[in-house]
Amino acid sequence: MVSLSTQKQPQHRWTVRLFLLAGGYAVLIVVSLVSLYPAVIMLLNSFKSNSEILINPGGLPIHWTLANYANILYGSQALVQQFWNSVLVTVVTTLLSMLFSAMAAFAFAKYRFPGRNILFLLLLATIMVPMEITLPPQYLLFAQVGWINTYQVQILPFIVPVFGVFLLRQYMLSIPDSLLEAARLDGANEWLIFWRIMVPIARPALAVFGILQTLSVWNSYLWPQVMANDTGVAPLMVILPNLRDTVVGFLPVWGTIMAGCVLATLPILILFLTNQERFMQGVVMGAIRE
Amino acid sequence: MLLQVQQENVSQKKNRAPKKRAKNQKRLLAPYLFLLPFFLLFIVLTIGPYFYALGLSFFRYRGYGSATFLGLANYLSVLRYHVFWTELGNTLFYWAAHTLPLIVISFSLACLVRWKLIRGAKFFKPIVFLPNVFAIVAVSLVFQNLFATQYGVINQFFHTTFPWLESASLSRWVVVLLLIWRNLGFWFVVFLAGLTTISPELDEAATIDGATVWQRLRFVTLPLMRPIFFFAFIYDAITSMRLYTEPNVLTAGGSLAQPGAAPVLNLLVTNLNAGNFGESSSVGWLLFLVTIGVAGVIFGLFRATGEVE
């Protein structure tokens, strides 16, 4: 179709088109470089000594060193404990929220029952309320039971995400009822229908939701900063910005911090590289409803 | 739905007579049992605390001893406190300064990649999306490294000494830059998926009718993309009101940003840390009202220019 309409066009149209095309690629290349550059800096600076970063913040390391990684793995700035704290909190929160959201989504998608619309509207109404409103009351509640600075306080408030119910319900609506009916005729009970039929079919949506939830829990900062900032249970994100040189002048130890940033990025990056399509689908599933 | 379920052949389903009355009893109960864990936890962990926070906001309560009823005094004292207005202004600034460029740039990029002559969309998509994968704390720290006054990459490269992060008026723009940079890929992917749902025949029909590129964008693409634009602006506004990590970590590392660059959530946190649970809660509810207001403005703007579904 393109060639059809251009055949009749004069020569200079082609030059204009060529310029536009070159411009288009130039824009894409610049955007790609800008997207990648900070990540490259992060990686390069994690191989420089703290003092080299001050002189040479943007170039290749002059003296490559693994001291920063040794430091966050075994040294005085070890982040191993916090890394595992982050992993534990993220994995447990994500799995629990997948289970609870999927069950609720199943009820909303595949049953008609009195109160369905009201309950769904209740969920819908909370979208606009900032979660942070619950910080003062949750602090009081968790202090009451002595759970400040625990894993529970980082996990519990995030295992019932409303958006998970919306996303999974949307997907389950597209699964034909006849499949469930057939299973019922074969004598399956409701839980088996959910667990053996719904969950396997909804796996793409569950994976997408799991990824989004993993991202959001992994990135948590404000909540654990207030609720669990003790180094024994705090996640990586809370400790990372506070790495200071305790010997010389209490300055940020940039090399070590950058190595810590790599550590904080690596698990999610691996997840992204192995699940690229699901990551981007997740974004889309949240945004486009048809 | 974008994801297609492989429809199994269910035509072999047999039409049997309704002989399972007893089973129906179980089916009536089932949805409530499926909802039970979620709603139980949701009431304890979300709805309950909302009301608790609402209650707290009318009391003076230090976390121990007895609470004193204050009426609206917490709200009034927050509203009279100049830092609240500075920080609310910052949050609104962060939203207003980044949302339009972010959405316009990501939409334009998506259009560019959809252009028939451009190859390699599969290659660019993950690269542009990548910043969204990095931990927010990590990229904020990397930006600190880039924009540091004496030892930063930017200042050393241009041989300048701009106090990017020390001066509140400059650091606010660095935060905006970070927000655009990190979220560009997210909306780019959303718009790209939206554009692929527009059937190519529509565009071709318009071309055959003699529509120019601009006319096709204005009269075919934009109207079809309206719901996505609406979603993008609303979603971005709601999340922007809760902004906290980026400005604080970028300008102050692990501590709180100075009032000139701090988002309004900082006031909730400082009150909480000081044990003023009532005032802290009232800041939260004021932020909710602001969120409703901002979403209302966006809704109004969309309504003024056409239908909103």
> Which CATH number is A172's domain given?
1.10.3720.10
Name which of A134, A190, A290 is nearest B1 (Cβ-Cβ): A290
pLDDT at B73: 94
Average pLDDT over every residue of A87-115: 96
Could you tell me if A155 and A260 lie in one domain? Answer: yes
d(CA A41, CA B181): 15
Kindly give, in sequence order, each residue whose CB lies less than 8 Å from that of residue A80, ignoring residues fewer than 6 positions away.
Answer: A72, A73
Average pLDDT over every residue of B92-98: 97
Question: Choosing among A45, A132, A180, which should be mutated to test the B contact, i.e. which has the most B CBs within 10 A?
Answer: A132
- Sort out which chain B residues have CB atoms less than 8 A from A185's CB and list them: 13-14, 16
Q: Which residue has the tokens 């249970």?
A: A233
Nearest Cα neighbor of B277 from B139, A108, B285, B145 is B285
- What CATH number corresponds to the domain at position B275? 1.10.3720.10
d(CA A135, CA A133): 6
Percent of chain B beyond pLDDT 90? 61
> Taking CA atoms, what residue in A is nearest to B186?
A283
Q: Sorting pLDDT into bands at 50, 70 and 90, what band is A10? A: low
Average pLDDT over every residue of A98-125: 94
Asked if the Cβ–Cβ distance from B228 to A28 is below 8 Å, we say no
Structure confidence by residue, pLDDT tens digits, A16-33: 888 888 998 999 999 999
Residue B35 lies in a domain: no
Number of other CB atoms surrounding residue A192 within 10 Å: 14
Check whether A276 has a pLDDT greater than 80.
yes
Q: Which residue has the tokens 């971005």?
A: B236
Q: Sorting pLDDT into bands at 50, 70 and 90, what band is A103? A: very high
Could you tell me if A251 and A134 lie in one domain? Answer: yes
Q: Sorting pLDDT into bands at 50, 70 and 90, what band is A245? A: low
**In the listed set A71, A87, A103, which residue is the last one of a domain according to the structure?**
A71
Could you tell me if A165 and A61 lie in one domain? Answer: no
Residue B146 lies in a domain: yes
CA B34 vs CA A99, A162, B27, B28: distances in Å: 10, 15, 11, 11
> Taking CA atoms, what residue in A is nearest to B144?
A254
B104: which 2 tokens?
A: 């316009």
Question: Choosing among A27, A32, A35, which should be mutated to test the B contact, i.e. which has the most B CBs within 10 A?
Answer: A35
d(CA B122, CA A269): 18
pLDDT at A247: 59
The three-class DSSP label of residue B264 is: coil
Check whether A252 has a pLDDT greater than 80.
no
Average pLDDT over every residue of B7-25: 48
Q: Which residue has the tokens 């420089």?
A: A48
Structure confidence by residue, pLDDT tens digits, B273-294: 999 999 999 999 999 999 999 9
Domain that holds residue B121: 76-304
pLDDT at B28: 83
Check whether B14 has a pLDDT greater than 60.
no
Average pLDDT over every residue of A66-70: 92
Check whether A54 has a pLDDT greater than 60.
yes
- Bridge-based pairing of strands B59-60 and B68-69 is antiparallel
d(CA A286, CA A272): 17
Higher pLDDT, B205 or B276: B276
Check whether A248 has a pLDDT greater than 70.
no
Could you tell me if A139 and A121 lie in one domain? Answer: yes
Average pLDDT over every residue of B150-174: 90
B98: which 2 tokens?
A: 């980044």
Continuous segment of H or E residues that includes residue B69: strand B68-69
Interface of B with A in 161-180 (CB under 8 A): none
Residue B81 lies in a domain: yes
B160 part of contact set with chain A, CB < 8 Å:
no
Check whether A286 has a pLDDT greater than 70.
no
The lowest-confidence range among A235-249, A257-271, B158-172 is: A235-249
Check whether B194 has a pLDDT greater than 50.
yes
Q: Could you give the number of structural domains in chain A?
A: 2
Residue B54 lies in a domain: no
Q: Which phi and psi angles does A26 have, rounded to 5°?
A: -60, -45
Residue B202 lies in a domain: yes
A83: which 2 tokens?
A: 């890394």
Check whether A11 has a pLDDT greater than 80.
no
Could you tell me if A260 and A228 lie in one domain? Answer: yes
Check whether A12 has a pLDDT greater than 90.
no
Continuous segment of H or E residues that includes residue B60: strand B59-60
Asked if the Cβ–Cβ distance from A132 to B268 is below 8 Å, we say yes
Query: How far off is chain A from B215, nearest CA to CA, in Å?
Result: 17
**In the listed set A16, A40, A71, which residue is the last one of a domain according to the structure?**
A71
Average pLDDT, chain B: 88
- B69, β-bridge pairs: B59
Selection from A62-66, A88-92, B257-261 with the highest mean pLDDT:
A88-92
Asked if the Cβ–Cβ distance from A136 to B56 is below 8 Å, we say yes
Nearest Cα neighbor of A40 from A283, A281, A272, A258 is A258
Q: Could you tell me the sign of the dihedral formed by the alpha carbons of B51, B55, B57, B63, in that order? A: negative
Q: Could you give the number of structural domains in chain B?
A: 1
Check whether A6 has a pLDDT greater than 60.
no
Structure confidence by residue, pLDDT tens digits, A173-231: 989 999 899 988 888 889 999 999 999 999 989 998 999 899 999 999 999 999 999 99
Check whether A51 has a pLDDT greater than 90.
no
Higher pLDDT, A139 or B17: A139
pLDDT at B308: 65
Could you tell me if A100 and A242 lie in one domain? Answer: yes
Could you tell me if A88 and A231 lie in one domain? Answer: yes
Could you tell me if A105 and A240 lie in one domain? Answer: yes
Structure confidence by residue, pLDDT tens digits, A116-131: 999 999 998 898 899 9
Average pLDDT over every residue of B112-134: 86
Asked if the Cβ–Cβ distance from B253 to A281 is below 8 Å, we say no
Could you tell me if A158 and A258 lie in one domain? Answer: yes
Query: How far off is chain B from A18, nearest CA to CA, in Å?
Result: 10
Check whether A141 has a pLDDT greater than 70.
yes
Could you tell me if A29 and A118 lie in one domain? Answer: no
d(CA A237, CA B268): 20
The answer to whether A132 and A222 have CB atoms below 8 angstroms apart is: yes
Triad B250, B255, B258: Cα angle to 5° = 70
**In the listed set A16, A43, A71, which residue is the last one of a domain according to the structure?**
A71
Check whether B4 has a pLDDT greater than 50.
no
Asked if the Cβ–Cβ distance from B34 to A39 is below 8 Å, we say no
Could you tell me if A44 and A158 lie in one domain? Answer: no
Domain that holds residue A42: 2-71
Could you tell me if A85 and A64 lie in one domain? Answer: no
